[in-house]
A and B are shown apart, each in its own frame.
Chain A
C-alpha cells in the first residue's frame, strides 16, 4: 500500500516536473521571439525618423547623399550604419540608446539650432565609435579585400591603397559622407572653433 502511494507520488511529481519544463520552454520561445521582434521593430528607418530630432535634422541631410539615392537603388538605412548587426554588439548599442531616449524626453536637440549647437560633439561620438570598431558597420557592405582598383578612379585607387597600407580605417577619411559636417578648423580667416585637423585627419597608426 505505502509502496503503491510512493510510486504514484513519484509519478505525479515527475509528470508535474515535465509539465513545468514544457511550459518554461514554450514561455522561453515566446519571450525570446517577442524580445527580438520588439528589438527589430526599433531597428527600422521608420522608427528612427518617427522622432522629430532625427527626421528634421540628420534624415533630411542624408537624403542628398549617395547612401540614400544612387544609380542602382541600393540603400543604406539608419540602422545599417548606426546599429551593429551581430547580437552582442547590437544589444550593447541598444542599451546605450536609452541615453538617447532620455535626451529625446529632455528635448536636448529638438530644433535645428539646438542640433547644430551639439553637432560637433555628436559627430565626434560617431567617429570615435567607428574608429574603435575598425568601421565595422561600413564593412557590412564594403569590403576592401574585393576592391577592384582598375574600376576605381585614379584618385580613389591611390588613396585606398595608401591608406589601407598604413592601417587606416574607413572613418579616418570618410567623414561627413551621409550627414553634414560640423565646423572643421582649416585655419582660413577667423577661428571657427571647429574640429582640430589632427582629429579630422588622424595620423596613421605607428607600424607594429
Chain B
C-alpha cells in the first residue's frame, strides 16, 4: 500500500515535470512578432483602424498594366447580384453625368474573346483588382521605383 502511494506520487511528479519543460523553454526564446509588432497568434488587426483616404484626382500608375487605384472613399459602396455601385458612375452610360472615369473597353471582352455590348460578367467584381487607398504606412522600407516608361 505504502509502495503503491509512493509510485503514484512519483508518477505525478514526473508528469508535472514533463509538462513544465516546454513552458520554461518558451520563456527564454523571444516571441515571434508580426511586422506590426503583434504576437503572431493574436487575431488580425481590425481593418477599421485604417481610414480610407479622401477624394483626390486619379493616382498615376506605378507599373505597366496596373489596374488603376481608386482615388476616393468606397465605404458603404456595395457590389451585389442586384446592383453594382461602381458601374452606377463608371459605366459608359453613366460616366458623362457623374464625371467619373469610364471603365476600360478592354473589360467588354468575355473569356472566349468575344466583344460584348457592355462590361463582361467576369469583370463584375471591380474591387478584385481596383482597390481603394487607406492611411496605412508601408511597414518596411523599399527601393521600388515607378516603371521607366511611366515616370
- Mark each residue of chain A from 153 to 190: 1 if its CB lies under 8 Å from any CB of chain B, else 0: 11100110000000000000000100011111011110
Could you say which interface size class chain A belongs to?
20 to 34
Contact of B87 among A154, A182, A188 (CB under 8 A): A188
| B119 surroundings in chain A (CB, below 8 A) | 188
- Within 8 Å of chain A (Cβ to Cβ): is B83? yes
Interface residues of A (CB under 8 A from B): 65-66, 153-155, 158-159, 176, 180-184, 186-189, 192, 194, 197, 201
Contact of B76 among A66, A153, A159 (CB under 8 A): A66
Known pairs A65-B76, A197-B93; A176 contacts B118 (CB<8 A): no
| Contact across chains for B117 and A158 when beta carbons are under 8 A apart | no
Minimal beta-carbon separation of A135 from chain B (angstroms): 19
| Contact across chains for A184 and B118 when beta carbons are under 8 A apart | no
Q: Which residue of B lies closest to A157 (CB)?
A: B55
A-B contacts, 19 of them at CB < 8 A, read A65-B76, A153-B54, A153-B55, A153-B72, A155-B55, A155-B72, A158-B99, A176-B83, A180-B82, A182-B82, A183-B83, A186-B88, A187-B93, A188-B120, A188-B121, A188-B124, A192-B81, A197-B93, A201-B94
Complex: A145 Cα to B99 Cα, angstroms: 24
| Contact across chains for B55 and A154 when beta carbons are under 8 A apart | yes
Complex: A85 Cα to B103 Cα, angstroms: 43
Complex: A114 Cα to B91 Cα, angstroms: 32
Contact of A186 among B54, B55, B73, B83 (CB under 8 A): B83
Q: Which residue of A lies closest to B121 (CB)?
A: A189
Known pairs A186-B84, A187-B117; A153 contacts B73 (CB<8 A): yes
Known pairs A180-B82, A181-B82; A186 contacts B72 (CB<8 A): no
Within 8 A of A (CB), among B90-146: 91, 93-94, 97-99, 117-121, 124
| A65 surroundings in chain B (CB, below 8 A) | 76
Q: Is the interface of B mostly helix, strand, loop or mixed?
A: loop
Minimal beta-carbon separation of B69 from chain A (angstroms): 16
| A181 surroundings in chain B (CB, below 8 A) | 80, 82-83
| B83 surroundings in chain A (CB, below 8 A) | 176, 181, 183-184, 186
| A197 surroundings in chain B (CB, below 8 A) | 93
| B84 surroundings in chain A (CB, below 8 A) | 186, 188
| B91 surroundings in chain A (CB, below 8 A) | 186
Complex: A187 Cα to B55 Cα, angstroms: 28
Complex: A187 Cα to B91 Cα, angstroms: 10
Complex: A192 Cα to B81 Cα, angstroms: 9
Complex: A197 Cα to B91 Cα, angstroms: 12
Minimal beta-carbon separation of B54 from chain A (angstroms): 6
| Contact across chains for B124 and A189 when beta carbons are under 8 A apart | yes
Complex: A97 Cα to B52 Cα, angstroms: 42
Query: Beyond the given A186-B91, A187-B118, A188-B118, could you list 14 further A-B residue pairs with CB under 8 A, ordered by the A residue number?
Result: A153-B54, A153-B55, A153-B72, A180-B80, A180-B82, A181-B80, A183-B83, A184-B83, A186-B83, A186-B84, A186-B88, A188-B87, A188-B121, A189-B124
